[in-house]
Amino acid sequence: MSRVDPVLVGLVANRLHSLLDEQQAALVHTAFSPVVRESLDLACAVFNSAGEMVGQSSGGTPGHINAMATGMRHIVAEHPPEVLADGDVLITNDPWMTSGQINDITIATPVFRGGALVAWFASCCHSPDIGGRILSAAATEVFEEGLRLPILKLRTAEGPNRTLERLIRANVRTPNETMGDIYAQVSANQVAIRSLDRMLDEFGLDGIDEVAAEIMLRSEQALRAALREIPDGRYSASMDSDGFDGDAIHLAVEVTVDGDAVRVDYAGSSPQSPHGVNVVLNYTRAYTSFAIKAALAPEVPHNAGSFRPVEVVAPRGSVLNCVEPAPVASRHLVGHFLPSLLFEALRPAVTGGLPAVSADALWMTVWRGAGIDEPQPFTLTVFGAGGTGARPDKDGLNTTGFPTGVRAAPTEVLETLTPLVQWRRELRPDSGGAGRFRGGLGQSVEVSRHGPHGWTVNANIDRVDFPAVGAESGSSGAPGEFVDASTDRELPRKQLVRLGADSRVRLRFPGGGGYGHPEARPVDRVLDDVVNGYVSIDAARELYGVEIEYTGDPDALVRPPDSYRVRSSTPRR
């Protein structure tokens, strides 16, 4: 029986969620870089006095929030209450302690009340730059990838650590944006602390530990109940990612369900790579626990309790549990595959089915102009997403990040901040895998720049060699492309590409896999897809067996629905 009033637990849980959203809003509204301000590549969370995650904000990515949750153990172990004081703020970007790459900076602030440590607030944000090589997979050691910060005190009650701030500024290409985002993280934590103080006063509490224990227990019990609905047994799957420079990465998993617990074992996956596509175990655990909860109990509040029924193991020295000093900068290009891999394994066991494979890996391009005569040197990180896999009862989502929640910044923002020009940014027809439910579409983007200067791009992308497969007889989504738009010459991926002043780059994002046989898709849905430009007339005929005719003006830019008609179709399944 709970020792805490259940009504109080519900009230505190809702208030914590509200103040975490307040923390995130403060972070986004005060951040300097579009990475945080526009794309929301971040996570915010509250922890009990022992560093166990109690709740997270509405936004944020699983790779940040879940990795930060396990990473807080390192922070608490290195800085126990007796070495902390009110006013301390800690910082780290150590990949093996937090979210797996040094571009992700964690800021953690202990909360004191009456002289006692009662909680922690923390956030993790993708920095616009951290020095070293521009973010790619080309490095062969983590030392090449930029400035690595152990767990340090960024601030104390006496003020900021000016020496550390100067060190960071001297090692990054975007000192104002990088430090501005760090200041925003510090400020957002303080906003949350003030709201927590008001909440504790209102409810007459000295701290949150007892209520937090009940919140976490409820999540644990709910996930265990969901696991008991899955037949005991072993479920396995495998898939491949592009890897680096033609050397593909193989991923394998065996999921063992035993009552109200699950063991996820990645034995059989590739050994760690000599290039920066390696994943630390923290990040592997992050996307594994996310996938299990998303597949079985998406409505369960996310906290340390929902981690407890899930055991994650990966062979030491494998691509999913790499050993220092392995390069890790592009670890998301492998880590983002894990939810689709787990969905493939669990598909036979989950009543109602699971989505088909998605484009998975977030596409991240880093654009740079910094020649000798560049009037305003720039470094800009841009995110984009392909399509998600079709669902058992719905089409996939177009150009939507999954499993990450990172957004794409508006074209107007990118063109205001830099001399870049986006000539094209549109949905990519026929990129979603055909099926009774169609996979989500990717997009086509073309980029050039103003001015007579050279520039560079690092395209951290995947699913060019291995497109997203369909489910239940659905077709695969289209593979991605990264080419010189003037020659259609394929450009090197995950490494620095030098461009001339007149170069134009085309990126065609991959689509998600289809679900169910394409000839089971209702004819009117196929017609709608053609009218909306999602599926071409040729693809409707060849993939769906539906003959559609356009009867309007062939030169018309606007083509209303009544200008299309169905001529014939094969019998539907």
- What is the DSSP secondary structure assignment for residue 474, as one 8-state letter? P
Q: Which of 85, 79, 78 is nearest to 157 (CA)?
A: 85
pLDDT of 117 reads 98
- Burial class of residue 413 in the structure, from the number of CB atoms within 10 Å of its CB (0-12 exposed, 13-18 middle, 19+ buried): middle
State pLDDT tens for residues 70-80.
899 999 999 99
In a domain, 387, yes or no: yes
In a domain, 275, yes or no: no
Domain housing 489: 355-516
Q: Indicate whether 427 and 484 sit together in one domain.
A: yes
Q: Indicate whether 128 and 212 sit together in one domain.
A: yes
C-alpha span between 512 and 390 (Å, rounded): 7
Asked which of 159, 192, 220 is the last residue of a domain, the reply is 220
> Which uninterrupted H or E stretch holds 289?
helix 281-296
Asked which of 166, 192, 220 is the last residue of a domain, the reply is 220
pLDDT at 1 over 50: no
Q: What is the 3-state secondary structure (H, E, C) of 155-179?
A: EECCEECHHHHHHHHHCCCCHHHHH
C-alpha span between 182 and 108 (Å, rounded): 11
Q: Indicate whether 143 and 190 sit together in one domain.
A: yes
In a domain, 261, yes or no: no
In a domain, 13, yes or no: yes
Q: What domain count does the chain have?
A: 3
pLDDT of 59 reads 85
Q: Are 515 and 474 in contact (CB under 8 A)?
A: yes
Q: What is the 3-state secondary structure (H, E, C) of 422-439?
A: EEEEEECCCCCCCCCECC
pLDDT of 572 reads 87
First to last CA, the chain: 53
Predicted model pTM:
0.95
Residues 6+ apart with CB under 8 A from 453: 369, 371, 373, 374, 501
pLDDT of 573 reads 85
Q: Indicate whether 375 and 470 sit together in one domain.
A: yes
Q: Indicate whether 461 and 528 sit together in one domain.
A: no
In this structure, which amino acid lies at residue 252? A
Cα–chain-centroid distance for residue 343?
17
In a domain, 267, yes or no: no
Q: What is the 3-state secondary structure (H, E, C) of 91-157?
A: EECCCCCCCCCCCEEEEEEEEEECCEEEEEEEEEEECCCCCCCCCCCCCCCHHHHCCCCCCEEEEEC
C-alpha span between 525 and 393 (Å, rounded): 13
State pLDDT tens for residues 296-311.
999 999 899 999 999 9
Asked which of 192, 220, 248 is the last residue of a domain, the reply is 220
Q: Are 150 and 1 in contact (CB under 8 A)?
A: no
C-alpha span between 69 and 178 (Å, rounded): 23
The residues pairing with 256 across neighbouring beta strands, listed in sequence order, are 234, 263
State pLDDT tens for residues 324-345.
999 999 999 999 999 999 999 9
Q: Indicate whether 185 and 42 sit together in one domain.
A: yes
Q: Indicate whether 364 and 490 sit together in one domain.
A: yes
Residues 6+ apart with CB under 8 A from 449: 369, 418, 419, 420, 421, 455, 501, 503
Q: Indicate whether 503 and 538 sit together in one domain.
A: no
Residue that the structure tokens 């900076």 belong to: 105
State pLDDT tens for residues 419-452.
999 999 999 999 999 999 999 999 999 999 999 9
In a domain, 122, yes or no: yes
Q: Indicate whether 485 and 542 sit together in one domain.
A: no
C-alpha span between 193 and 212 (Å, rounded): 16
In a domain, 394, yes or no: yes
In a domain, 311, yes or no: no
Positive or negative, the CA dihedral 349, 350, 356, 360 is: negative
Mean pLDDT value of segment 359-367: 97
Q: Indicate whether 510 and 381 sit together in one domain.
A: yes
Q: Which of 377, 368, 214, 238 is nearest to 303 (CA)?
A: 214
Q: Indicate whether 505 and 456 sit together in one domain.
A: yes
Q: Which of 395, 526, 386 is nearest to 462 (CA)?
A: 386
State pLDDT tens for residues 153-193.
999 999 999 999 999 999 999 999 999 999 999 999 999 99
Q: What is the 3-state secondary structure (H, E, C) of 302-334?
A: CCHHHHCCEEEECCCCECCECCCCCCCCCCHHH
C-alpha span between 355 and 346 (Å, rounded): 11
Cα–chain-centroid distance for residue 395?
21
Query: In 3-state terms, what secondary structure has residue 533?
Result: coil
Q: Indicate whether 416 and 471 sit together in one domain.
A: yes
